[in-house]
Structure 1
């Protein structure tokens, strides 16, 4: 978090949080909702200014309740997550994953494959969905415990079973499980659409 943001919080600790103005889509794009209606759905407007995007990326956090927000000076801007708190892509050298905020993923403790074919990972930064355009390339790098390609080994995986997978020399073995899309937020521990307290 930027020092100027920390200083603003210290000066004005009681600024009310806002809801409904910002969302993160499934491709890692920040979207502005000028009418404050993100919690009701809708695509919103793309944010394209690189300075604003960098500022949001540096000041993106979450609270203990799994609500993700952008700390805009002294004010928390809670946001709607269309897929997960992070959108993960292959690094430029294809030796690991990066978040949509350009942070390196140093490890993965668990993988989930949902009923729509999307792959999720639990990272030290928080849970993320693998960007769809990088999914095939990532799956080609993952292997089972015996060294076989995950793509060659992946068949129907029963809901109550796990498969240990690794990305050799990048991420050690971690369990891969299936999950239904409706259970993702609860299982991965985030609130996809926080609203104001009632």
Structure 2
């Protein structure tokens, strides 16, 4: 969380929250959703400005209700999630591939899930900012179990490292990561939000 954001929260503590205007899509892109997009259930416009994308990513957090938001100075902008709070990418590095979220934070994977539509989700420990419900200007960095939709561009890489068998319209098996065999288990997409404690479309 940026220091200037925390200072603005202390200076202007009672700015109304904003709902519906910002979304995270399935490819980890932040999207602005104006009144027309919201009224017509449209995805909204992809934010192209690099510095703004980085600012949103640095100030992305959640509250104890499972609502994810961008702390835009003193205003809390709640985010509509197309899939999950995190989107995972497999990124090459000198020390082997890394799993990173759309915010550039590392995922320590514990397994994977496959749903009825063929989507792959990575489960693991992710460090994130948690809002204090008593004092909204206080944020705590925590490492918690969460879930990230794997970007569709990385499905082939995942498949190359996996052994799967069909199981009731989904798949189960194992996935090799960093020399370890991690489980792949089936899940229905509707179960994700309850199991991993997030709200896809926060509202006031």
TM-score by length of 2: 0.80
Which residue among 161, 165, 168 is the counterpart of 1:155? 165
Residues 120-177 of structure 1 show CA distances to partners (whole Å, capped at 9, x for unaligned) of 11232232100011011023224xxxxxxx2xxx112369x975544133xx454321
Q: Hey, what's the Cα distance between the residues in 2 that align with 1:75 and 1:39?
A: 22
- Relative to its length, the structure with more strand (as a share) is 2
Q: Hey, what's the Cα distance between the residues in 1 that align with 2:53 and 2:198?
A: 22
The residue aligned with 2:23 is 23
Unmatched segments (≥5 aa) in structure 2: 127-145
Q: Hey, what's the Cα distance between the residues in 2 that align with 1:2 and 1:80?
A: 22
The residue aligned with 2:81 is 81
The residue aligned with 1:13 is 13
Contact 2:122-2:149 within 8 A present in 1 as well: yes
Q: Hey, what's the Cα distance between the residues in 1 that align with 2:27 and 2:181?
A: 26
Change (3 A) 1:108 1:132: same
Q: How many residues align?
A: 182
Contact 2:24-2:81 within 8 A present in 1 as well: yes
SS of corresponding position for 1:137: helix
Q: Hey, what's the Cα distance between the residues in 2 that align with 1:89 and 1:97?
A: 6
Q: CA deviation at 1:110?
A: 3.2
The residue aligned with 2:148 is 128
Is 1:140 the equivalent of 2:160?
Answer: yes
TM-score by length of 1: 0.82
Contact 1:79-1:193 within 8 A present in 2 as well: yes
Contact 1:39-1:80 within 8 A present in 2 as well: no
Contact 1:20-1:37 within 8 A present in 2 as well: no
